[in-house]
A and B are shown apart, each in its own frame.
Chain A
Amino acid sequence: MMLKISNFCCGYGNMQVVNHLDLEVKKGSVTGILGANGAGKSSLIMAIAGHVEIKNGSIVYNGEDITSCTPMERVSRGIALVPEGRRLFKSMSVYENLIIGGYITRKKDSQTNMEKVFDIFPILGERIRQNAGSLSGGEQQMLAIGRALMTDPKVLMVDELSLGLMPKAIDICYEVIEKLNSLDMTIMLVEQSTKRALQASDNVIVFESGNTVWKGSSNEAKKSSEIIDSMLGLRNH
């Protein structure tokens, strides 16, 4: 098991946004985290990355309890996050963004990782000196994923992969997710585009107001209209 999250609660100040979550993520799997706006999906992966306060429960990564680890320690253990909206350093070049992404790795490894990123996203190699802010939306998402890959992660968490992208760019990004998964990387996808996420995921977890309303295989999820409604926030209480 790559990640084991038990009785997990997280939130901001007095507000709890994820309630008593139990989740197991298998090594080399793709887990879709689905739900309507404000369901707590992004907060969950931000908490796994160490950026949202954990109020209760534990996170065990590769057999090691990382609940109290700093974000830096989590990154160095192999947990990488592609934040929502890409959040690139827009005044910096593609090269500089990637170099910053490889902060925790040694210089030699950083160079190897950069070559791997250019193998996956050749367009980034062509745009190496270009400012990140001048890239198209799709290229920016590629750079955001590439920057996360610079840490040589074992678990890649992507927040809203398809947000604001044109269909062609979404296809490319999902192809990359499949490719990374084929290289045995564990992936967690937060998505509002349920159709694409269900296609790409092995397992899904559905959130509603911070509570887990369903979890199981994506094949099962595709068959249930009630689950699909939950994902879209249409379920009647």
Chain B
Amino acid sequence: MGPYEISLATGVGIYVILAVSLNLITGYCGQISLGHAAFFGIGAYTVALLSKLGWPMYLTLAAGLSSAGIIGVIIGLTSLRVKEDFLAIVTMGVAFLFVGIVRQQEFFGGEMGISGIPSHGMTKFAYLCFVLVFAMLSILFSWYVKKAWIGFAFDAVADDEGTARTLGLDIKSYKLTAFAMGTSMAGLAGGLYAYYTRFIVPETFGFIESITILSMVAVGGIGSTFGVVFATVLLVMMPEVFRFINDYKLLLYGALLFGVMRFKPEGLSGFYTLLTGNKEK
């Protein structure tokens, strides 16, 4: 593997964690989020700042994961009051708010972002393996959640919150748990990204990035772990493999998002169901 392939695969691994984390919130628990990149950013900025203070890597990653998770729970509290379109607007606001804050504060590096993030101290290939281990753990965790009792409860909340309440389900706890799990994982992805690029700018975590992550989830099939992983690999690799697409990346993501929602809302997992007759559980 050359340095280019290693770099590309590392990026894929980080995006897999990110997409799987959004799938936990939006796919499993039905809570739409248009500001997921903000939690990716919170993780990245936390890790960048702390690593520059000399904190060891494992502590900075834990801090990135925790800070995104804590803020995620606070944002998740809004999901207890608003839902569907209104929740989408609130989470969209979070994306703008995050970029607005880091842009304006010298502490966060302002428009120039944060550069000179210390190295992770591994070879590029070792770091790729490190990222892939986390990506694999994220997939396994997501798959476990789907199979476990909590997965049933998430399904019920996503399907019909009112009915779930009549059965005595603690809706608040499940929504907040989904936000805590999903945003923590996004924070971890942010931390891994900060060590990977060693330079972060506010634009990376803006609204467009949130839509990019959402299109990975939608194209893969909302709620399907393996569909989302497959779509993420495809969408991250495609502009790299077919270079002429790169300039039209956003157009491509937008068109795919539109096409999937219009013609195949189940995404790629829907094709799997169609071909095999089995639904991913």
Q: Is the CB of B152 within 8 A of A99?
A: yes
Nearest 5 Cβ contacts at the A-B interface? A75-B168, A87-B163, A104-B168, A89-B159, A72-B168
Residues of the B chain whose Cβ atoms lie less than 8 Å from the Cβ of A104: 167-168
Question: Which residues of chain A have a CB within 8 Å of any CB of chain B?
Answer: 49, 51, 71-72, 74-76, 81, 83, 87-92, 96, 99-101, 103-104, 147-148, 151
> Looking at the complex, which one of B153, B159, B166, B169 makes contact with A51 (CB distance below 8 Å)?
B166
Chain B 121-142, CB-CB to A under 8 Å as 1, else 0, gives 0000000000000000000000
Q: Is the CB of A103 within 8 A of B159?
A: no
Q: Count the A-B residue pairs with Cβ separation under 8 angstroms: how many?
A: 59
Q: Is the CB of A151 within 8 A of B167?
A: yes
A to B CB contacts below 8 Å, 5 in the list: A91-B155, A91-B159, A92-B156, A99-B149, A103-B169
Size bracket of the B interface: 10 to 19
**Also in contact, A49 and B163, with CB within 8 A (given A91-B155, A96-B155, A103-B153):** no
Closest to B149 in A: A99
Q: Which of A75, A81, A91, A103 has the most CB of B within 10 A?
A: A103
Asked if B52 is at the interface of the complex by the 8 Å CB criterion, the answer is no
Chain B nearest Cβ from A67, distance in angstroms: 18
Chain B contacts with A in 136-177, Cβ cutoff 8 A? 149, 152-153, 155-156, 159-160, 162-170
Q: Is the CB of B152 within 8 A of A100?
A: yes
A-B contacts besides A87-B160, A103-B169, A104-B167, 8 pairs, CB < 8 Å = A51-B166, A71-B168, A92-B159, A96-B152, A99-B152, A100-B153, A100-B155, A147-B167
Chain B nearest Cβ from A175, distance in angstroms: 24
Q: Is the CB of A103 within 8 A of B168?
A: yes
Q: How far is the CA of A82 from the CA of B102 in the complex (A)?
A: 50
Q: Is the CB of B169 within 8 A of A89?
A: no
Chain A nearest Cβ from B227, distance in angstroms: 15
Q: Is the CB of A51 within 8 A of B165?
A: yes
Q: Is the CB of B153 within 8 A of A72?
A: no
Q: How far is the CA of A120 from the CA of B51 in the complex (A)?
A: 63
